[in-house]
Amino acid sequence: MQLKEWLFLSLANKLPAFGSIDRNRWKLLRLAGMNIKGPNTVFGPLTIRPLNGTKNIFIGKRCFFNTEIRFGCPGAKVVIGDDVGVGPRVSFETTSHGLVYQEEKGRGSIYKDIVIEDKVWIGAGSTILLGVAIGEGAVVAAGSVVTKDVPSYCLVGGVPAKMIKKIDTDMSKNSNGSK
């Protein structure tokens, strides 16, 4: 299985950025072992650690993934819903280490799933850490480090990410909140 994963992931990452390729790259990721429904747009490249980690990634439909996305998922899942947008250089990290070093054991590893619900936007350069759930329609500002769950329909940002405001879902208003 690892050879198949390596082959199709390498192919998906080496193909040039081009409209029809970007709209179909998800099919190669599925062949590599990723649980991806599609259709999705993937600019690539994606980094998936460790090899054989694709089996821990679950992606819905109509998602958009910009360039240089990293999935660190050796012992837990990354679950991404439908209609999710992911900016460039976003990292999903399902693993952490203990604070105390123990002789002959090291720091040990902790694994927890990450869950991204439908219609979420994650801004460029953000990091989503283990155990985090991001609620439907939430927005993560660029450069944020998300260490705690994010409620649905709110904007979070910063290091660590904190609530900035609730998102008004009234469609009669424009994007800046004025009528």
Contact of 159 with 143, CB cutoff 8 Å = yes
Say how far apart CA 6 and CA 56 lie, in whole Å: 15
Q: Report the CATH architecture of 45-99+107-166.
A: 3 Solenoid (2.160)
Give the chain's radius of gyration (CA, Å).
Answer: 17
Instruction: Kindly give the pairing relationship between strand 133-134 and strand 154-157.
Output: unpaired
43 Cβ contact partners less than 8 Å away, ≥ 6 residues apart: 17, 22, 25, 65, 66, 67, 88
pLDDT of residue 174: 57
pLDDT of residue 18: 87
Q: Per residue of the chain (179 residues), what is the pLDDT tens digit?
A: 588 899 999 999 999 888 899 999 999 999 999 999 989 999 989 999 998 899 999 999 999 999 999 999 999 999 999 999 999 999 999 999 988 999 988 998 999 999 999 999 999 999 999 999 999 999 999 999 999 999 999 999 999 999 999 999 886 565 555 54
Q: Which residues are catalytic?
A: 97
Contact of 133 with 115, CB cutoff 8 Å = yes
**Tokens found for residue 143:** 């450069």
42 Cβ contact partners less than 8 Å away, ≥ 6 residues apart: 12, 22, 25, 26, 29, 64, 65
Say how far apart CA 161 and CA 158 lie, in whole Å: 4
